[in-house]
Amino acid sequence: MTVVLSAPCAYMLDLCAFPTFFPVKQSEVESAEGYLGSDGKILDAGAWAIEAGFVSNGAYVLESWSHDESMVYVKNPYYHNADKVKIERLEFMLSADDTAIFAAYEAGNLDFIDTAPNDKLSELQKRSDFYKIDQLGTYYVSFNVKSDLFEGLSGTDASKLRMALSLLVDRDYIVETCGQTGQQIATTFVPAGMLNGHGGVFRENDDAYTYPVKDAVGYFPEGSDQDELEQNREKAIDILKELGYKFDSEGKLTGDKKISFEYLVNEDSGHKAIAECMQQDFKKVGIDMSIKTIDWDTFLEERKAGNYDVARNGWIADFNDPINFLELFISGSGNNDCQFGK
């Protein structure tokens, strides 16, 4: 097979290793029940692969699938390098409960897990079977731009409100108490270490490239010590005063104009811990943030549909180029959870 590009693409080889680009049998995809809607348009492009036994390609085939519980893969005898595949069978536990996952691992029922309860991280890091692996990713908060939180505000003022709320979050405390594994404070949306398309690093200056933010530091103050945190809080209060909010002598909201919103999060001890940290940060200035916790599948549906005020979010790179992060904010993107242009 030959691929001809209409324009240069520095991350083309990365795309070739991205599962979305793996070839599958066209007739299997297009003949699946539910693939086309009554109007003849594609309804569900993944309808061909919702039960075990679907036609795919690779070293393994899916033998059984108990949704939300387990998956079993077995060696594919037709794989082009089948003689080099040494493991005959792979069994996966499917669960959003990190406590149950960890318990299964400790009981010897699982050989490998990629999550652990938040309250276990400190002691687990002392063990020889605990590994920390870097990821090109950013953990962030999505504001639904159509939320009642921004009702009556111009685009500029809504942006100011989001900035004020962002300034109030103690990121360093979240990293130390919730992350606990050396996470970096995100001062830009594109993560540190991502390539720039010509062999360099996007957030670092070199002879052929200059990072488009002054001093290549970032667009947001880290707030990693108490003085910086206080300065951020004062900036946030100043911004909110510009928007008509009033504060008492102790720096808390007063008067009839209040700020309250719901924060949507999926079931996971780490996400819950981060939400509670943010809740306390906002409470210090009189902002009321309630926390709504729902299961993962419902969470994805609600966030995608825009049925939320503010929601936890995150993105791990599919391929090593900044566009993989920046395209999330295109109005027509399938990942436009913030509802821009909708």
- The whole-number pLDDT of residue 73 equals 97
Mean pLDDT of the chain: 92
Average pLDDT value for residue range 221-233: 74
Give the C-alpha separation, 24 to 268, whole Å: 34
91 strand-pairing partners: 72
Helix (H) or strand (E) holding 273: helix 269-283
Cα angle, residue 167 at apex, residues 164 and 278 outer, rounded to 5°: 100
In the prediction, which pLDDT does 342 show?
87
Predicted pLDDT at 263: 98
Q: How far apart are CA 16 and CA 318, in angstroms?
A: 11
- CA dihedral over 219, 222, 264, 256, signed as positive or negative: negative
Taking 70 as the threshold, does the pLDDT of residue 66 lie above it? yes
DSSP for 202-228, written as a single string: TTS-BTTB--SSGGGT-SS----SHHH
Q: Encode pLDDT of 233-267 as tens digits.
A: 999 999 999 999 999 999 999 999 999 999 999 99
Q: What is the pLDDT of residue 216?
A: 47
Is pLDDT at 214 greater than 80 in this prediction?
no
Q: What is the pLDDT of residues 282-341, one digit of tens each?
A: 999 999 999 999 999 999 999 999 999 999 999 999 999 999 999 998 999 989 999 999
Convert the pLDDT of each residue in 261-276 to its tens digit.
999 999 999 999 999 9
Predicted confidence at residue 208, as pLDDT, reads 79
In this predicted structure, what is the pLDDT of residue 187? Answer: 82
Q: For residue 172, which phi and psi values (nearest 5 degrees)? A: -60, -40
For residue 242, the surrounding DSSP H or E stretch is helix 226-242
**The residue to which tokens 């061909």 are assigned:** 48
Q: For 125-140, how does the pLDDT look when each residue is reduced to its tens digit (9 = 90+)?
A: 999 999 999 999 999 9
Ordered structural domains, the chain, with CATH: 24-48 (no CATH), 137-329 (3.10.105.10)
pLDDT digits over 86-99, tens only?
A: 999 999 999 989 99
Residue 193's alpha-carbon distances to 83, 134, 148, in angstroms, are 37, 10, 37
The pTM score is 0.86
CA distance linking residue 66 with residue 210, whole number of Å = 50
* C-alpha to C-alpha distance for 186 and 224, rounded to whole angstroms: 11
Higher-confidence position of 86 and 2 = 86
The mean pLDDT of 94-113, rounded to a whole number, is 95
**Positive/negative CA dihedral, 212, 225, 271, 283:** negative
